[in-house]
Chains A and B, each alone.
Chain A
Amino acid sequence: QKEVEQDPGPLSVPEGAIVSLNCTYSNSAFQYFMWYRQYSRKGPELLMYTYSSGNKEDGRFTAQVDKSSKYISLFIRDSQPSDSATYLCAMSGVDSGNTPLVFGKGTRLSVIA
């Protein structure tokens, strides 16, 4: 079992839809949970991160962490064609200087106008 599992998609939604992207993980030591977005021919860029459990909102994006279920989610409200990209979850332990980020394989999202 990989440490981080992420459905690769592809996921196709109409413009304005609410998108839900998810990852599960097996390592209970993970404390930092991040979401990166990667456009074609670009490197990943950080969208947001959370520490431990709970929710975090940034504009149209909301990240949720449920440590009891080892499950994290990213919600995108009012999705736009510009949101079309691959979304990668990433995690690390609290001792982040000594434990590298572990990434999911990414979910490819297409938002159709």
Chain B
Amino acid sequence: KAGVTQTPRYLIKTRGQQVTLSCSPISGHRSVSWYQQTPGQGLQFLFEYFSETQRNKGNFPGRFSGRQFSNSRSEMNVSTLELGDSALYLCASSSAGGSSGANVLTFGAGSRLTVL
């Protein structure tokens, strides 16, 4: 069973540019979550999509956006990049569809973004 696949694995951008990151969840998983990981702040929740709808959103500016397609694949976009956006962006999928039970996340290896 293939795991969570994130592309690209590494990328370098300059301030002001935008970036799109892609995530393919585990087959059958309908929930996709995105996290930002930095040494100073750890893992911070960006947003979660379930069946193409954003179900939860973290405390990030509107420059961070995402979407989910009908095949559960997800993308996140960061516009007008800032130096502080340099981080590891992690995508995780889950089979949890209901409102109860443990929301066990399976993570991808991440996309490491460097903003110069």
- Answer yes or no: are A and B bound together in one complex: yes
Interface of A (DSSP majority class): loop
Measured CB to CB, the residues of A under 8 A from B are: 6, 32, 34, 36, 41-46, 49, 51, 88, 92, 94-106
Q: Closest approach, in angstroms, between the C-beta of B8 and any C-beta of chain A? A: 14
Contact B43 A88 (CB under 8 A): yes
Q: Closest approach, in angstroms, between the C-beta of A95 and any C-beta of chain B? A: 5
A-B contact pairs, 13 of them (CB 8 A): A41-B109, A43-B90, A43-B107, A44-B107, A51-B102, A95-B100, A96-B96, A96-B99, A97-B101, A98-B99, A101-B45, A101-B103, A105-B42
Contact A100 B43 (CB under 8 A): no
Given contacts A42-B109, A43-B109, A103-B42, contact A98 B102 (CB under 8 A): no
Q: Closest approach, in angstroms, between the C-beta of B94 and any C-beta of chain A? A: 9
| Most chain A beta-carbon neighbours within 10 Å: one of B45, B96, B105, B110 | B105
Contact B102 A32 (CB under 8 A): yes
Q: Which of B60-116 contact A (CB under 8 A)?
A: 90, 92, 96-110
Residues of B within 8 A of A104 (CB): 42
Q: Closest approach, in angstroms, between the C-beta of A94 and any C-beta of chain B? A: 6
Query: Could you tell me the distance between the alpha carbons of A105 and B41 in the complex, rounded to whole angstroms?
Result: 7
Query: Could you tell me the distance between the alpha carbons of A92 and B50 in the complex, rounded to whole angstroms?
Result: 17
Residues of B within 8 A of A106 (CB): 42-43
Q: Closest approach, in angstroms, between the C-beta of A26 and any C-beta of chain B? A: 16
Residues of A within 8 A of B97 (CB): 97
Q: Which of B21-58 contact A (CB under 8 A)?
A: 33, 35, 41-43, 45, 48, 50, 55-56, 58
